Copies of this chain bind each other. A is one copy, B any other.
Amino acid sequence: MRAVETMTGHPNPHPAATPHDAGTIPDRIFSLLREAIIEGDIAPGSKISEPELARAYGISRGPLREAIGRLEACGLVVRRANVGARVVKMSSTQLLEIFHVREALEGMAARLAAQNMSAAEIAELRALLDQHGEQIDRDTGHAYFQREGDLDFHYRIVQGSHNQRLVELLCNDLYHVVRLYRYQFGMPSKRGPRAFVEHGHIVDAIERRDPEMAELMMRAHIRASRENVERLLKEHQTQG
C-alpha cells in the first residue's frame, strides 16, 4: 500500500491518501501542489510561477501546466489568460456556498448509503464511529474532530452511496476545498462532541435502512455546521 505514511503518527492518516509517485508527472505534481496549497505551504492569493515551480520540481513547464489545469478544475487556483494562476483566497460567501452544496450532495449520499451500503460497510462505519467516540473521551476531542477525522466519516458515507459521480464530486474535489478552508480559517469550534452525536444519528438511520431519515439527519448535521460557521463569522466581523 502506497499511502502517506510520513505525515502523522496516525495509521491511516486521512481521505486524501493519493499516492504521490504513481503514474505520469502531472499526476505526481498535481498531488504535491494540491497538498502544498491545502496545508498553506503556498500562501493563499500568492502567484503560481511556472518557471519557478518547474525548476523547483526539476521538470518542464508542459506537465506543470497540465497539473495547474487540474488544480483549476478543482477550484484550488484561479487562472487568467496571459497572467497566470493564483491560489484561491476563500471568501466567507464562497465558504457558505460550499456548505449549501455539501448539504445537498451529502444528504443524497446518506440517502443512497442507507439503500446501498453492504452490511460489512455499515459495520465498518459503526466501528469508525466507536473509534471516534474513544478519541473524544481521551482528549477533549476538538482537535481531532475539527481536522481530518470528521472528513473520514463523511468520506465513508459518500463511498457507501455507491454512486461514482457523487464520489468524484465530493471526494476528489469538494473535500479538498473543505480542508483548504479549514487551514485558511482555522476556526476553533466547540462542535466536536455535538457533531459526534449527530454522526451517531446518521449511522443509526443507515443501520435501520431508513433513507429518508438518513438524508434528513445528514442535512441537519451539515446545516448546523454551517450555522455555526455563520455565527462565528458574524462574531469575528463585529468584534474585530
Contacts and interface: CB of A to CB of B under 8 A. Distances in A.
Copies in the complex: 2
Interface in A167-189: 169
Nearest to A26: B69
A104 B94 contact: no
Contacts of A112: 100
A229 interface: no
A82 B62 CA distance: 16
Main SS of chain A's interface residues? Answer: helix
Interface residues on A, range: 20 to 34
B108 A100 contact: yes
Contacts of A103: 108
A27 B69 CA distance: 12
Nearest to A177: B165
A97 interface: yes
B163 A101 contact: yes
A101 B105 contact: yes
Given A24-B81, A69-B69, A70-B73, A98 B62 contact: no
Interface of A: 23-24, 27, 62, 65-66, 69-70, 73, 75, 81-82, 94, 97-98, 100-101, 103-105, 107-108, 112, 163-166, 169
27 contacts: A23-B81, A24-B81, A27-B81, A65-B66, A66-B66, A69-B69, A69-B70, A69-B73, A73-B73, A75-B165, A94-B164, A94-B165, A97-B163, A97-B164, A97-B166, A100-B108, A100-B163, A100-B166, A101-B105, A101-B108, A101-B165, A101-B166, A104-B105, A104-B107, A104-B108, A105-B105, A169-B169
